[in-house]
Amino acid sequence: MKIEDLIAQIRQKKSFLCVGLDTDLDKIPNHLLKEEDPIFAFNKAIIDATHQYCVAYKPNIAFYEAYGLKGWKSLERTMEYLNENYPEMFTIADAKRGDIGNTSTRYAKAFFETMDFDSITIAPYMGKDSVEPFLEFEDRHTILLALTSNQGAYDFQTKTLDGQELYKEVLSVSKTYKGSERLMYVVGATKASYLEDIRKIVPESFLLVPGVGTQGGSLQDVCKYGITKNVGLLVNSSRGIIYASTGNDFAEVAAKKAYEIQQEMQIELSKIK
Amino acid sequence: MKIEDLIAQIRQKKSFLCVGLDTDLDKIPNHLLKEEDPIFAFNKAIIDATHQYCVAYKPNIAFYEAYGLKGWKSLERTMEYLNENYPEMFTIADAKRGDIGNTSTRYAKAFFETMDFDSITIAPYMGKDSVEPFLEFEDRHTILLALTSNQGAYDFQTKTLDGQELYKEVLSVSKTYKGSERLMYVVGATKASYLEDIRKIVPESFLLVPGVGTQGGSLQDVCKYGITKNVGLLVNSSRGIIYASTGNDFAEVAAKKAYEIQQEMQIELSKIK
């Protein structure tokens, strides 16, 4: 997907919400367990109910991988369903991969070609030649971990490396990579004020922001420091939407939650000059 | 697998060779493509031919993931074959995963439980709560990326963070993690002298060393700086063994190559006092 198409979709739906598909057999409504593919049945119902309020879906790959072949099949079916029925959706493989050159190329093929995702999350630790193979794919996007929203982010990411924090170094250095115009960044919302510094380094890039609501930061603060003329934000919510109800009304309640966030986002979008 | 069993196997076989299963349909002998599962057929032949000269096998997960469901099936069959026929083998999922707590737990289940690997490689960028979920599994081992052998290692890993290089900080900080006795580390052999510094921080830990031969460092140098009383080394070779011949004699030639490395290793092991 071209970035312009993502921006157009955001403007049309007045939403920059990404729904995280962290689908867990222990948490989905009991009646779905009778289905032939309960994970896909759950995802399908969530997608059908929420698609008008969001612009992106982000399957968390670990949740599928944990079920082995069955899980990969559910993931493939989910992607086929999305690409057939809602081709306008921006799809994110939350995979946090990254390896040396020829191996990264394999991962890129797995997610961009075999499964036709628009984007993938990548860990930056192995540097340039582990990231650039992903950047070669036209109209696909690589979302590099910069500052994550978990406690472990303070182990390395916020420590000072050669004069600036490691996550800032990741932002600065990655801008020099070939194909860097296809980079986005994961930036946790635990301290929205970090976004002010981040915008000094990557003023235009799209940021994927997890952790709004449940893990801290407010949507208003994220927008205050992070929003750009072309929006430049995708804010993710997973459990707060997909598990808002575990009853028969789960899809309906998920839609209601997504709608509430979309309404807040509409207000923030109206502030862009 | 208990670490003592790995050490006993090394002593018995006089080898600390790990064979990397980077199996690629474009590189395996043509006649195997007629098989119902060519990747598994190739792996099985390589394993049967080389098992007496090595102590570990390391499937590079990207190579399987790139083929989608079919690839995962080949990987599962390879692991079943290994665990049934050569249960003494130490198995490494070269997956370079890492995510926040509950997601890392999913990855750990995928590889330690669903596929019964003895160990997995993990990227350290997200810190403590992304690594500790893996360390909870008894008799399973987590191999943390410290210093990799690719060019991109110089982007972040060798830069100075809070007074010492990032890769040393990863070694130091990870030693404080709960379950750290189950940690091993990936250390590239591009500059074997780095191993001298690394051994000051982790004097006993097992190191998984890629890049011997093809990418630089010699086995002698790696041993000079890295070997411990309990060996403490697994040296990986992938392409140099599995693709040494692409003819009908591929398994035979792979065995010959593995034997040659084992012979060198035997000499190094005899030097341990």
The H or E element spanning position A207 is strand A207-209
What's the confidence (pLDDT) of residue B14? Answer: 98
Q: Which pLDDT does position A108 carry in this prediction? A: 97
pLDDT tens-place string over residues A32-73: 999 999 999 999 999 999 999 999 999 999 999 999 999 999
Looking at the complex, report in whole angstroms how far the Cα of residue A166 sits from the nearest Cα belonging to chain B: 8
pLDDT at residue A240, as a whole number: 93
Tokens coding A249 = 């009304």
3-state secondary structure A141-168: EEEEEEECCCHHHHCCCCCEECCEEHHH
Q: In this predicted model, what pLDDT tens digit does every residue of B178-226 receive, in sequence order? A: 999 999 999 988 777 799 999 999 999 999 999 776 555 689 999 999 9
Residue B214: the pLDDT is: 58
Residues of B annotated as catalytic are 96
Interchain contact, B126 vs A145, CB within 8 Å: yes
Residue of B nearest to A152 (CA): B127
Q: Tell me the chain B residues in contact with residue A173 when contact means C-beta distances shorter than 8 Å.
A: 155-156
Does residue A215 register a pLDDT over 80?
no
Q: Are B189 and B212 in contact (CB under 8 A)?
A: yes
> Could you give the ipTM of this predicted complex?
0.95
The gap between the terminal CA atoms of chain B, to the nearest Å, is 26
| CA gap A72, B29 in Å, rounded | 28
Question: Rounded CA gap, B142 and B164, in Å?
Answer: 23
- List Cα–Cα distances, B101 to A20, B31, B131, B239, in angstroms: 16, 45, 8, 34
Which pLDDT does position B124 carry in this prediction? 98
Q: Which residue has the higher pLDDT, A14 or B216?
A: A14
- pLDDT at position A213 is 64
Note the pLDDT of residue A191. 77
Reference B115, options B87, B84, B75; nearest CA is B75
Tell me which chain B residue has its CA closest to the CA of residue A165: B161
What architecture does CATH give domain B3-270? Alpha-Beta Barrel (3.20)
Query: Nearest-5° angle of CA A143, CA A146, CA A152?
Result: 125
Closest listed residue to residue B75, CA positions, set B108, B119, B42: B42
| CA angle (B9, B14, B19) in 5-degree steps | 75
Give the whole-angstrom CA distance, residue A96 versus residue A65: 13
Is the model's pLDDT at A179 over the cut of 80?
yes
Q: How many CB pairs under 8 A join A and B?
A: 183
Domain spans in chain B, listed from the N-terminal domain onward: 3-270
pLDDT confidence band for A192 (50 / 70 / 90)? confident
- Once rounded to an integer, what is the mean pLDDT over residues B42-66? 97
Whole-angstrom distance, CA of residue A215 vs CA of residue A217: 7
Return the number of other C-beta atoms located less than 10 Å from residue A138's C-beta: 9
For residue B93, what is the enclosing H or E element? strand B90-97
Instruction: Find the mean pLDDT for residues A181-210.
Output: 93
Can you tell me the distance from the alpha carbon of A205 to that of A199, in angstroms, rounded to the nearest whole number?
A: 8
Tell me what the mean pLDDT of segment A72-97 comes to: 97
**Residue (of A18, A92, A4) closest to A50 by Cα position:** A18
Residue B184: closest CA among B92, B117, B76, B112: B92
Residue B50 has pLDDT above 60, yes or no: yes
Per-residue pLDDT, A189 = 80
Residue numbers of A annotated as active site: 96
- Would you call B147 helix, strand, or coil by DSSP? strand
Percentages helix, strand, coil for chain A, rounded to the nearest 5? 50, 20, 35
**Nearest CB to B124: which of A94, A150, A156?**
A156
pLDDT tens, A104-136? 999 999 999 999 999 999 999 999 999 999 999
Q: Pick A162 or B56 by higher pLDDT.
A: B56
Nearest to B126 among A67, A127, A152 (CB): A152
Q: How confident is the model at residue B86 (pLDDT cuts 50, 70, 90)?
A: very high
Q: Which residue has the tokens 């500790």?
A: B132
- Nearest chain A residue (CA) to B63: A106
In the predicted structure, residue A12 carries a pLDDT above the cut 90:
yes
